[in-house]
Amino acid sequence: VQVSIIEPGGFQTGMIDPARLVKGFVHLWERLPAEAQAAYGRHYLGKYAKTTTLLHRLSSSRLSHVTDAMTHALLSCCPRSRYAAGWDARLIFLPLSYCPAWLSDAV
C-alpha cells in the first residue's frame, strides 16, 4: 500500500472563519471559572480575535493547491510520500516535519 501525506497550510474555509471562531471562543470563555479567566487575563480574548483574523487574511483562497496535490497523489504512477499545499506549508510545516519529534513539539 502506497501512502502519501498531504500537509495543507492555511486556506480560507469555514473552519477558520474568524467570526465563527471568535463567537465559539467567547462562548467557551464565558463558561470558564473566574480564576481561569483571571489567570489568562481579559486581554487574551482580544489577542485571540486579532490572531484569528490575521490567520484568515494570510490564508489562501485557492483550494486548488490542495486538490491538485490530492489528484497527483491518487493518479501518479510514482506519487511522492509528502505533499505540501500552500506557501506556509512549504515554508514552515514541511521543513518542520523532517525535524526530530522533540524539536517540532517545542516549536
Tens digit of each residue's pLDDT (9 = 90 or more) over 59-97: 888 889 999 999 999 999 999 888 989 888 888 877 887
Q: Measuring CA to CA, how many Å separate 26 from each of 16, 38, 52, 55? A: 15, 15, 13, 18
Banded model confidence at residue 101, pLDDT cuts 50, 70, 90: confident
Percent of the chain with pLDDT over 90: 48
Query: Between the CA atoms of 64, 69, 71 and 74, what dihedral angle is there, to the nearest 10 degrees?
Result: -160
C-alpha to C-alpha distance for 83 and 88, rounded to whole angstroms = 13
- Whether the CB-CB separation of 7 and 97 falls below 8 Å is answered with yes
